[in-house]
């Protein structure tokens, strides 16, 4: 084993110290030296670099609810030598800038804003004296707050939900279906519900359960921020029912009879809902005033109302014979 290692050592030594490889090693040395020299010269030049600086809102009273959180990071453009910038980028994490709540909060408006000049001044304190902060983004930080004023609001769906062919959306459910909203009294009075972020769910035939975020509203805190939504499709079936024709706007002492007295109404409905649909939930009418204004051998029929959940309801015939009798 020892002889084998000795042989390997000799082979490597002879390779490295051969005349050809000596020249290659010298080349590598000067290449490394020139690269190092170039890097030192480059880092000694002045650059501008955007650096992220964390920010924190501090000294917030326990009875205050922040209805819109302040940005937790600002992007600062710093001008300095490359060595200093490399230290900021690859060195220890920059300490957060602490923004005092009481300095910027306006109790009357429930709004606080940190102006550009203050942001620049506070951000500059996180860098050495030779570094110059020339820009900060965003140019201001703001936050909304109140003292626990809230109300409960229902959740509504927003977006495009289209079940597959021969299906329709029979029911939508939320968990929870009511959320707590914190805001100024004026804002709360203007809100009637909160919406989900727009969703796009199409061509489905089975129940869909998803977690969706609620749409953000400036100056408003919503708890919770997300809800679960359940979409329940049902198969559409084509059905029909015989519905009694009713006369409207009839003067006293007169009766209007139609022939036939019942007409067929065609409609689409979910298979599970059909058992709850009855003929008396439809309203088919003939208007006495229209007959008097436009006399004819036949009168027009109108489908005035249909039960909830029924789709594409229409009359099979739109005109019938009639007779007006004196009582």
| Segment 220-234 mean pLDDT | 94
More confident residue, 139 or 256: 256
Note the pLDDT tens digit of each residue in 102-133: 999 988 888 899 998 888 888 888 887 677 77
Q: How far apart are CA 83 and CA 44, in angstroms?
A: 7
The reported pLDDT for the residue numbered 26 is 61
The reported pLDDT for the residue numbered 214 is 96
Note the pLDDT tens digit of each residue in 258-285: 999 999 999 988 888 888 899 999 999 9
| Segment 125-150 mean pLDDT | 84
Does residue 8 have a pLDDT over 90?
no
| Segment 204-217 mean pLDDT | 93
| pLDDT over 70 percentage in the chain | 83
Does residue 293 have a pLDDT over 60?
yes
Note the pLDDT tens digit of each residue in 82-99: 666 667 777 667 888 899
Q: Are strands 141-146 and 65-68 parallel, antiparallel or unpaired?
A: antiparallel
Does residue 4 have a pLDDT over 70?
no
- 253 in helix, strand or coil? coil
- 265 in helix, strand or coil? strand
| Segment 300-307 mean pLDDT | 94
Q: How confident is the model at residue 43 (pLDDT cuts 50, 70, 90)?
A: very low
Does residue 44 have a pLDDT over 60?
no
Angle formed by the axes of helices 82-90 and 19-43, to 10°? Answer: 90
Q: How far apart are CA 310 and CA 237, in angstroms?
A: 10
């Amino acid at each position: 084993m020892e002889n084998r290692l000795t042989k390997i050592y000799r082979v490597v030594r002879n390779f490295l110290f051969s005349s050809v490889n000596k020249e290659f090693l010298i080349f590598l040395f000067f290449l490394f030296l020139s690269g190092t020299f170039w890097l030192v010269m480059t880092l000694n030049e002045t650059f501008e670099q955007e650096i992220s600086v964390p920010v924190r809102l501090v000294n917030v009273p326990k009875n205050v609810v922040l209805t819109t959180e302040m940005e937790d990071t600002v992007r600062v453009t710093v001008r300095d030598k490359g060595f200093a910038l490399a230290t900021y980028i690859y060195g220890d994490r920059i300490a957060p800038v602490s923004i005092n709540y009481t300095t910027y909060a306006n109790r009357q408006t429930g709004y606080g804003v940190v102006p550009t000049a203050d942001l620049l001044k506070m951000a500059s304190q996180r860098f050495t004296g030779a570094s110059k902060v020339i820009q900060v983004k965003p140019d201001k930080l703001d936050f909304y707050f109140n003292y626990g004023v809230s109300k409960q609001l229902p959740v509504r769906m927003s977006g495009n939900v289209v079940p597959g062919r021969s299906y329709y959306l029979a029911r939508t459910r939320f968990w929870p279906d009511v959320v707590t909203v914190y805001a100024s009294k004026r804002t709360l009075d203007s809100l009637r519900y909160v919406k989900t972020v727009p969703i796009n769910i199409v061509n489905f035939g089975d129940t869909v359960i998803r977690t969706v975020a609620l749409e953000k509203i400036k100056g408003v805190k919503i708890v919770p921020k997300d809800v679960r939504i359940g979409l329940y499709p049902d198969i559409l079936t084509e059905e029909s029912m015989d519905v009694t024709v009713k006369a409207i706007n009839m003067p006293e002492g007169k009766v209007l009879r139609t022939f036939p007295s019942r007409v067929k109404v065609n409609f689409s409905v979910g298979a599970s809902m059909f058992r709850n649909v009855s003929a008396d939930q439809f309203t088919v009418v003939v208007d006495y005033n229209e007959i008097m204004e436009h006399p004819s051998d036949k009168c027009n029929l109108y489908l005035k109302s249909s039960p909830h959940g029924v789709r594409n309801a229409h009359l099979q015939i739109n005109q019938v014979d009639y007779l007006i009798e004196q009582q």
